[in-house]
Amino acid sequence: MFLVCAALGLAAMFGVIGSSTVTSSGLSVINGSLALYPGSDVVGFPPGEVTGNIYIDDAVATKAQDDAGDAYAYFVSLPHNASADLSGSDLVGLTLTAGKYFFAKSAQLSGNLTLDGQGDHSAIFIIQTGTTFQTSVSSNINLINGAKSCNVFIVVGSSATIGSSSAIRGSILAYTNVVLHHNVWAHGTMVALGAAVNMDANTIVAPADCIRRTSPPSSK
């Protein structure tokens, strides 16, 4: 049986989903599976480790990309309140409650961001950017009061770049590419819908805390 998150579909069983390539320098560890579609070039595994499976340009990888793309489109389609428009702001120092937050262009995190579930373990957090999402070195997304990584989604209009030694609790769905600098730790699915996922001695944990069971797709 495959483990599936209602929001991400099959994509939730993956730590990394790339489109053109997935590359890793140093010893990266993916606690979960890795998918690449439609590309065929996975570099750095080994010596990097994948505790699940590696799917390259096959039916499972296709389904993972499709489900991630569907989730991206769904999150983008959701409305946001005017008070949740954070365009031009830095996320550092903020404490956000459940909901969708919007940046017309780029978004920056230069330190700590706190997401407060307010006692609701099903609280959903969506941060959508029109263009890029970037964090500084040693930035953190922290969860309190029942918030869960599997319910946090950063929906990026172009590329996501995560600074060295940052800790990201939530999935990143980038329209183009994802760059994870040295020693990034993430609890979520790192998705590049249109280009590469580039890693450097990272640890990625698939978001298995909001899962349900379903039948696997055909592997033909």
How confident is the model over 134-153, as pLDDT tens digits?
A: 999 999 999 999 999 999 99
Residue-wise pLDDT tens digits, 69-125: 999 999 999 998 899 999 999 999 999 999 999 999 999 999 999 999 999 998 999
Average per-residue pLDDT for the chain:
92
How far, in Å, CA of 77 to CA of 119, rounded? 27
**How far is Cα of residue 163 from the mean position of the Cα atoms in its chain?**
15
User: What backbone phi and psi angles, to 5 degrees, belong to 134?
Assistant: -140, 140
How far apart are the C-alpha atoms of 141 and 101, rounded to whole Å?
Answer: 15
For the chain, domain boundaries:
17-210
Position 116 scores a pLDDT of: 98
Query: What whole-number percentage of the chain has pLDDT above 70?
Result: 92
Dist. CA 165–CA 156, nearest whole Å: 21
Residue 27 has pLDDT above 50, yes or no: yes
Report the residue count for the chain. Answer: 220
Residues 183 and 155: beta-carbon distance below 8 Å: no
Between CA 148 and CA 189, with CA 71 as vertex, the angle to 5 degrees is 50
